[in-house]
């Protein structure tokens, strides 16, 4: 693999400009061996199941992104504060730092990451470090380093130390030749973004490590995730978060996708609960390593109409970003998640009306909402 030049400067600029919580520190990328380090070719691994241990010891990489902090809060409530370690390369805000264990972890530094796993007796690893779709297209070498080389490090460490490994995938793992309405778990996947390509790579590598080395790899394909406690981080579905902030602050929202662009979406509480549920599911219940999960599917126009029930004077305009629109047009319109619902009992709680009401409740009241109610 060629050395990625000036990557430290690039990631610093990206973190400052996009708010991306990719959770990595970039160093010149060395060639990484294709087989797990210190793993015999005939080795077989079996993770300790949840029932066989008091509590898992958890590490979350890329923990300061959209999902990491919320996941840590959920897992600490479930397993105890000191059993869940949040990690990133950025300095956390005070409330995150004091809410539980936090450490610096660079996913491209194999030795350091391995030491963290060993010294903290980690048994579960949630790997959230990644550059998202739009940010990745702006810097492909950086996305390739973070999303692929970093994944290889995590896979090797997880295999070597018998970890239960969760790596999220995405609607971006599909492409324009995939069936879009609905999109099944198994179908043609030919994404046209480096983000999507890296996620297909992660799905296949995780499945390979499972069958080749016995790695307990688990993966969910997330739809667009909507949350009130984080800023957009460079994703194509970020309009569905931005509209709430703009409605509260200015009463004006400019959408960068066409009004009829339908995409699958999910409220963050459903997403985090699904992640915990699939990790706790008995291994024998899983018929596959990667599952679609879904909750709702809507267009920018449908979301705006629901938001306007709370903020009637919200003025919505459309200025289409050609890059993001092309990405969205290649993604699923609806997810078929029947296998997740059958195998481990997945069931969402939030539809569009509940989502919008919850977002405004979280963000707080202002005069426009009070008048509308």
- Print the SS3 string covering the chain: CCCCCCHHHHHHHHHHHHCCCCCCCCCCCCCCCCCCCCCCCCCCCCCCCHHHCCCCCEEEECCCCCCHHHHHHHHHHHHCHHHEEEEECCCCCHHHHCCCCEEECCCCCHHHHHHHHHHCCCCEEEECCCCCHHHHHHCHHHHHHHHHHHHHHHHHHHHHCCCEEECCEEHHHCCCCCCCCCECCCCCCCCCCHHHHHHHHHHHHHHHHHHHHCCEEEEEEECEEECCCCCCCCCHHHHHHHHHHHHHHCCEEEECCCCCCCEEEEEHHHHHHHHHHHHHCCHHHCCCCEEECCCEEECHHHHHHHHCCCCCCCEEEECCCHHHHHHHHCCCCCECCHHHHHHCCCCCCCCHHHHHHHHHHHHCCCHHHHHHC
pLDDT of residue 145: 94
Q: pLDDT digit string (tens) for 144-195?
A: 999 999 999 999 999 999 999 999 999 999 999 999 999 999 999 999 999 9
- Residue 222 belongs to some domain of the structure: yes
Q: pLDDT digit string (tens) for 46-56?
A: 344 444 458 99
- Residue 256 belongs to some domain of the structure: yes
309 alpha carbon, distance to own chain's centre: 30
Q: pLDDT digit string (tens) for 57-67?
A: 999 999 998 89
Q: Is the pLDDT assigned to residue 372 strictly greater than 50?
A: no
- Residue 116 belongs to some domain of the structure: no
- Our count of domains for the chain comes to 1
- Residue 110 belongs to some domain of the structure: no
- Residue 272 lies in domain: 130-371
Gap between the Cα atoms of 304 and 243, Å rounded: 8
- Residue 83 belongs to some domain of the structure: no
Question: What is this structure's pTM?
Answer: 0.82
- Residue 241 belongs to some domain of the structure: yes
Give 26's pLDDT tier (boundaries 50, 70, 90): very low
* Residue 203 β-bridge partners: none
Q: Is 173 exposed, middle or buried (0-12, 13-18, 19+ CB in 10 A)?
A: buried
pLDDT of residue 370: 35
Number of C-beta neighbours around residue 119 at 10 A: 9
The values of phi and psi at residue 254, to 5°, are: -110, 115
- Residue 121 belongs to some domain of the structure: no
pLDDT of residue 36: 54
Q: Measured in Å, how far apart are the chain's first and last C-alpha atoms?
A: 58
Torsion, Cα 90 77 130 246, to 10 degrees, reads: -80
Angle formed by the axes of helices 268-280 and 68-79, nearest 10°: 50
CB contact at 8 A, 66 and 224:
no
Gap between the Cα atoms of 158 and 288, Å rounded: 19
Indicate if the alpha-carbon torsion angle 276, 221, 124, 144 is positive or negative.
negative
* CATH number of residue 189's parent domain: 3.40.50.720
Active-site positions?
Answer: 195
Q: Which residues contact 142 (CB under 8 A, 6 or more apart)?
A: 4, 7, 10, 11, 14, 26, 131, 136
What mean pLDDT value characterizes the chain? 86
- Residue 89 belongs to some domain of the structure: no
Gap between the Cα atoms of 359 and 245, Å rounded: 10
Nearest to 158, CA basis, from 200, 197, 110, 220: 110
CB contact at 8 A, 47 and 216:
yes
Q: pLDDT digit string (tens) for 248-293?
A: 999 999 999 999 999 999 999 999 999 999 999 999 999 999 999 9
Give 371's pLDDT tier (boundaries 50, 70, 90): very low
């Amino acid at each position: 693999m060629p050395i990625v030049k000036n990557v430290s400067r690039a990631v610093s600029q990206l973190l400052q400009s996009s708010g991306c919580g990719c959770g990595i520190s970039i160093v010149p990328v060395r060639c990484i061996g294709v087989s797990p380090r210190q793993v015999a070719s005939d080795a077989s691994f079996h993770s300790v199941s949840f029932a066989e241990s008091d509590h898992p010891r958890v590490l979350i990489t890329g923990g300061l992104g959209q999902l990491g902090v919320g996941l840590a809060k959920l897992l600490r409530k479930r397993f105890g504060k000191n059993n869940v370690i949040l990690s990133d390369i950025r300095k956390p805000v005070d409330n995150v730092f004091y809410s539980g264990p936090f450490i610096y972890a660079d996913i491209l530094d194999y030795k350091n990451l391995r030491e963290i796993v060993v010294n903290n007796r980690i048994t579960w690893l949630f790997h959230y470090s990644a550059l998202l779709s739009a940010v990745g297209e702006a810097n492909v070498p950086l996305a390739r380093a973070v999303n692929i080389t970093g994944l290889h490090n995590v896979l090797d460490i997880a295999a070597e130390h018998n970890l239960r490994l969760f790596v999220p995938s995405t609607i971006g793992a599909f492409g324009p030749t995939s069936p879009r309405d609905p999109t099944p778990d198994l179908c043609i996947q030919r994404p046209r973004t480096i983000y999507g390509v890296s996620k297909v790579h992660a799905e296949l590598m995780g499945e390979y490590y499972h069958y080749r080395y016995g790695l307990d790899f688990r993966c969910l394909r997330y739809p667009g995730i909507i949350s009130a406690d984080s800023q957009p981080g460079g994703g194509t579905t970020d309009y569905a978060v931005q509209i709430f902030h703009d409605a509260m602050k200015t009463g004006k929202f400019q959408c960068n996708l066409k009004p009829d662009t339908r995409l699958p979406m999910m409220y963050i509480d459903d997403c985090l609960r699904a992640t915990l549920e699939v990790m706790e599911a008995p291994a024998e219940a899983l018929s596959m390593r990667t599952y679609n999960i879904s909750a709702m599917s809507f267009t920018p126009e449908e979301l705006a109409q629901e938001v306007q029930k709370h903020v009637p004077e919200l003025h919505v305009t459309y200025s289409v970003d050609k890059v993001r629109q092309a990405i969205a047009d290649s993604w699923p319109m609806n997810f078929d998640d029947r296998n997740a619902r059958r195998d481990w009992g997945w069931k969402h709680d939030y539809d569009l009306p509940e989502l919008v009401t919850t977002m405004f409740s979280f963000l707080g009241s202002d005069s426009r909402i009070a008048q509308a109610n």
